Structure 1
Amino acid sequence: MKDCTIYKTVDIIGKKWSLCVLLELYKGENKKKRFNELKNKLQDVTPKTLSTRLKELEDQGFIVKKTDDSTVPIKCEYSLTESGEDFIRVIHDIKKWGLKWKFENDECENSNCRLCQL
């Protein structure tokens, strides 16, 4: 099964917080977010876990990290790659499935994920 595309994909995105990190990078008009912005939005994630997920998602090509060392402190910003942007459609499909089969959430049903404030 190790060569199965589904198993390989789930290994990448199935880790806790991975989808939430991608969704937070997608949300809002600002396409770039710093570590602390993500940490504040994902309140229950530990800094270590967030750092690990960001590195994994970067290694897998979902996000890109830009470092500006011309400032003190050094400024790092994360944003979605083309692959990450494309994956947002999968997250929208998961949302649609959840709303159809599992959860009643009028606020979520009537909002665009990019504009979501939840």
Structure 2
Amino acid sequence: MDKKANSYYPKTPVVIECNIEKTLNVLGGKWAFLVIRELFGGTRRFGELQRLIPAVSPRALTSTLRHLEEHGVLERRVYPTVPVTVEYSLTPKGQDLHNVCHEMKLWAARWT
């Protein structure tokens, strides 16, 4: 390739942010939608979530909850009881996903 042709390519890659990609980075985990679905029903404790989603391992559930908390989708509240009580609930950002989940449910009913 000659020098002139090579000058058209940037030296560093161009990053184009896609809103769908950003959304999938937050919600793309295997268990995220199931956790969010259960939290639409209200505040839940870890054990409740584990019973409601029996296929998820404790480690995967913990990882998913931390990830969603870091991205502002859910809130973790710790109460100083013995043993410690921890509850999870959706933030307004998490509640805003209700329509997205509903549309996905309709799509799946139609096409799968």
Gap runs ≥5 in structure 1? 103-118
Q: Which amino acid aligns with 2:18?
A: C
Q: What TM-score, normalized by structure 1, do the two folds share? A: 0.79
Asked if 1:41 corresponds to 2:52, the answer is yes
Q: Which has the higher contact order (CA 8 A, sep 6+)?
A: 1
Q: Which amino acid aligns with 1:39?
A: Q
Higher-Rg member (1/2): 2
What is the Cα-based RMSD across aligned positions, in Å? 1.1
Match of 1:99 among 93, 101, 109: 109
Counting aligned pairs with the same residue, the percent is 37
**In the aligned structure 2, how far is the partner of 1:74 from the partner of 1:11?**
31
Contact 1:67 1:77 in 2 (8 A): yes
Q: Where do 4+ consecutive residues of structure 1 move more than 4 Å?
A: none
**In the aligned structure 1, how far is the partner of 2:16 from the partner of 2:57?**
30
Q: What TM-score, normalized by structure 2, do the two folds share? A: 0.83
**In the aligned structure 2, how far is the partner of 1:54 from the partner of 1:88?**
18
**In the aligned structure 1, how far is the partner of 2:110 from the partner of 2:91?**
29
Gap runs ≥5 in structure 2? 1-14
Per-residue CA deviation, residues 49-76 of structure 1 (Å, 9 max, x unaligned), is: 000000000111110001001x100000
- After TM superposition, give the deviation of residue 2 of structure 1 in Å: 5.8
